[in-house]
Amino acid sequence: MFKTAVLATLLALSALAHAQAPTSKKALVAKVLQLQQPGIEAMARQLATAPALNLMQRANLALQTVPAERREAVARDIEADLRKYADEVAPIMSASAVKAAPSTVGTLLEEKMSEEELKQLIAILESPVNKKFQSLAPDMQKLLGDKLVADTRASIEPKLRALDQSIVKRLGLQPPAPAASAAKK
């Protein structure tokens, strides 16, 4: 009788543990998503502002056609409009990304990663070394970006000027007068 009760209890506990495994995996996935929320929000902000950056680039080209005395004021107004857009749209995209993450990223993590892998991933994400590394990301990006710009400026700027001139020509716009010729007049 005692053996039967113990066996029944073990079977019940085993079944309970088996039934709770998906819940445990879901909880692990939720933890991963929580730890990754800043990255999810940053990606959403980037998606939200990408069209505005494209518009800003086009506006900068079009600004060349605005009379010089109005150009700076128009540029400030456009910049303010773009900032307002980003301030309105970025939070909407971020909230939507956080809401969609469990049914997209969460589902993928649940399907492709084991419970043990999720535990290991959480340990990595929560580790002090990873947190320190992540906190250095802006400095690393700036240092690399500054070096990259410095190293490639001489070869990239002529190509960028040629592209700008080509676009201006295709649009039928007048290129801005060089400063030297304006000074001679």
At residue 64, the pLDDT reads 83
Q: What is the mean pLDDT of residues 63-90?
A: 88
The one-letter code for the residue type at 52 is A
Task: Determine the average pLDDT of the residues in 145-152.
Answer: 90
Please say if the pLDDT value at position 78 is more than 50.
Answer: yes
pLDDT of 13 strictly over 90: no
Does pLDDT of 19 surpass 90? no
* Domain range list for the chain: 37-112, 128-172
Cα separation of the two ends of the chain: 110
pLDDT for 14 equals 46
Lowest mean pLDDT among 15-19, 45-49, 66-70: 15-19
| Phi, psi dihedral angles at 114 (to 5 degrees) | -80, 170
Regarding pTM above 0.85, the answer is: no
Segment 39-57 mean pLDDT: 89
Residue 6 has pLDDT above 50, yes or no: no
- Using pLDDT thresholds of 50, 70 and 90, give the confidence band for residue 37: very high
Q: Mean of the pLDDT values across residues 132-139? A: 91
What is the Cα–Cα distance from 28 to 53, expressed in whole angstroms?
37
pLDDT one-digit tens code per residue, 95-126 = 999 999 999 999 999 999 999 999 999 999 99
Torsion of CA 108, 24, 41, 109, to 10 degrees: -20
In the structure, what pLDDT confidence band is assigned to residue 179 with cuts at 50, 70 and 90? low
Kindly list the distances between the CA atom of residue 15 and the CA atoms of 6, 10, 12, 20, 24, in Å, as whole numbers in the listed order. 14, 8, 5, 9, 14
What share of the chain in percent tops pLDDT 70?
80
Q: Which residues contact 31 (CB under 8 A, 6 or more apart)?
A: 118, 122
